[in-house]
């Protein structure tokens, strides 16, 4: 059984402690138990458990509420636990190991502040949720949004996704489509009898190669879109003309475009082809025009907010009408990397930024 969490320790040490409690998606129970056990005794928090998601709320009667959330699961291990403190060639002190970036350093900051901030200037809902790294249907935040949306109610939300300790507003939407072509099988020695479905994918690939993705300004942030083939399949045997082929297309679209508009765009581009939408997630506008967001940006300081190009769970808050941003320690390029690592200075920076804002 894992050691009880010592939340009087530094957020850096808490990061190491929760990373060393292995919690690959589907195995979050032990970490959820440890978080619940550490927060439940605190008089200033009302703690609710839903599956392996832990929600801890202040109830101070403030006129505004902020939701600060992070997922506690990780992708599978690859000889990268337990964690280690290391120093890079340029002298940067890092914590190395699975989960340090995505996204237990952010969760550790939340835990530290949940304990320390007995009377923040807004009511705060701290959310630690499960199953982010797997199927959308299993996502703990999505489950709460469907079954207990009152627990996620707020005026502003922050997701502790790795952002290099900088504020990243909103996120792009994400669409995946299968574009199919059809032909007729025949022996390759008599190919003129058949109709080659793989050859028919050429116009699809030409459309993708010629496509010029947009850069769209949304509430002051520039979101870069992308439309790409990410897979192609077809063929039966080395001597058979194939009767079916499929190009797997991924579309990252700016949050100014709705999910329905994104689907319509793809169907227009590939008019005449068999198009199946296999995954669709709307983006989220930056949320930086909300008064709480502006106060947050001022309190954090540093570089101006930038857009989040990938999809994150801020979109779930946006769908609930809650403006949301990403703000967490760790560089996104190290997420899921076998060499996952977070500069310890970024953990402290995020803690300091949130603390200043919640106590100003």
Answer whether residue 43 shows pLDDT above 80: yes
Instruction: Please confirm, yes or no, whether 73 is among the known catalytic residues.
Output: yes
Model confidence over 271-289: pLDDT tens digits? 999 999 999 999 999 989 8
Q: Which of 158, 159, 127 is nearest to 144 (CA)?
A: 127
Note the pLDDT of residue 261.
98
Higher pLDDT residue, 1 or 206?
A: 206
CB 108 within 8 A of CB 170: no
Rounded Cα gap, residues 295 and 323, in angstroms:
13
Rounded Cα gap, residues 10 and 13, in angstroms:
5
What DSSP character marks residue 10?
A: -
Supply angle C-alpha 114, 326, 279, rounded to 5. Answer: 120
Rounded Cα gap, residues 141 and 131, in angstroms:
9
**pLDDT class of 2 with cuts at 50, 70, 90:** low
Note the pLDDT of residue 19.
98
Rounded Cα gap, residues 69 and 314, in angstroms:
9
**pLDDT class of 1 with cuts at 50, 70, 90:** low
- The distance in angstroms from the start CA to the end CA of the chain is 39
Answer whether residue 124 shows pLDDT above 70: yes
Residue among 102, 123, 130, 132 flagged as catalytic: 132
Rounded Cα gap, residues 270 and 205, in angstroms:
11
Q: Which of 134, 177, 172 is nearest to 269 (CA)?
A: 177
β-pairing, 324-326 with 156-159?
parallel
How many residues are recorded in the chain? 360
The rounded percent of the chain whose pLDDT value lies above 70 is 99
Per-residue DSSP letters for 217-252?
EETTEEEEPEEEEEEEEE-S-TTEE-SEEEEEEEEE
Kindly state the tokens that stand for 114: 């949940």
Note the pLDDT of residue 287.
86
Q: What is the mean pLDDT of the segment spanning 127-152?
A: 96
β-pairing, 221-224 with 274-281?
unpaired
Answer whether residue 185 shows pLDDT above 80: yes
Mean pLDDT of the chain: 97
CB 282 within 8 A of CB 258: yes
**pLDDT class of 3 with cuts at 50, 70, 90:** confident
Answer whether residue 258 shows pLDDT above 70: yes
Model confidence over 215-247: pLDDT tens digits? 999 999 999 999 999 999 999 999 999 999 999
Rounded Cα gap, residues 294 and 360, in angstroms:
13
Cα 222 vs. chain centroid, distance in angstroms? 19
Answer whether residue 32 shows pLDDT above 70: yes
What is the 3-state composition of the chain as percent helix, strand, coil, each rounded to the nearest 5? 30, 30, 40
Answer whether residue 293 shows pLDDT above 90: yes
**pLDDT class of 94 with cuts at 50, 70, 90:** very high
Answer whether residue 357 shows pLDDT above 90: yes
Let me know if 237 is exposed, middle or buried by CB neighbors in 10 A (0-12, 13-18, 19+): exposed
Residue among 73, 102, 123, 351 flagged as catalytic: 73
């Amino acid at each position: 059984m894992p050691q009880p969490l010592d939340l009087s320790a530094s957020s850096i040490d808490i990061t190491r402690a929760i990373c060393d409690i292995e919690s690959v998606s589907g195995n979050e129970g032990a970490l959820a138990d440890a978080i619940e056990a550490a927060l439940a005794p605190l008089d200033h928090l009302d703690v609710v458990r839903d599956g392996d998601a832990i929600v801890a709320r202040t109830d101070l009667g403030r006129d505004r509420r902020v939701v600060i959330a992070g997922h506690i699961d990780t992708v599978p291990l690859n000889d990268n636990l337990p964690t280690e403190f290391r120093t890079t060639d340029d002298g940067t002190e890092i914590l190395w190991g699975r989960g340090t970036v995505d996204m237990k350093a952010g969760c550790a900051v939340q835990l530290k502040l949940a304990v320390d901030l007995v009377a923040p200037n807004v009511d705060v809902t701290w959310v630690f949720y499960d199953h982010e790294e797997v199927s959308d249907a299993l996502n703990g935040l999505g489950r709460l949004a469907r079954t207990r949306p009152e627990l996620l109610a707020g005026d502003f939300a922050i997701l502790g996704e790795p952002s290099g300790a900088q504020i990243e507003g909103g996120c792009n939407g994400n669409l995946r489509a299968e574009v199919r072509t059809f032909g007729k099988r025949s022996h390759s020695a008599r190919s003129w009898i058949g109709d080659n479905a793989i050859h028919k994918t050429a116009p699809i690939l030409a459309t993708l190669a010629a496509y010029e993705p947009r850069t769209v300004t949304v509430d002051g942030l520039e979101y870069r879109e992308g439309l790409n083939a990410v897979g192609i399949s077809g063929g039966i045997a080395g001597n058979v003309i194939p009767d079916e082929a499929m190009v797997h297309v991924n579309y990252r679209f700016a949050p100014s475009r709705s999910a329905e508009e994104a689907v319509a765009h793809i169907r227009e581009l590939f008019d005449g082809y068999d198009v199946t939408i296999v995954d669709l997630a709307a983006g989220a506008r930056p949320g930086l025009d909300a008064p709480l967001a502006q106060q947050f940006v001022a309190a954090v300081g540093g570089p101006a907010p930038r857009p989040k190009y990938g999809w994150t769970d801020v979109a779930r808050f946006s769908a609930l009408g809650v403006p949301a941003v990403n703000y967490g320690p760790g560089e996104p390029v190290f997420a899921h990397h076998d060499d996952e690592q977070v500069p310890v200075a970024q953990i402290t920076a995020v803690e300091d930024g949130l603390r200043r804002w919640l106590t100003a």
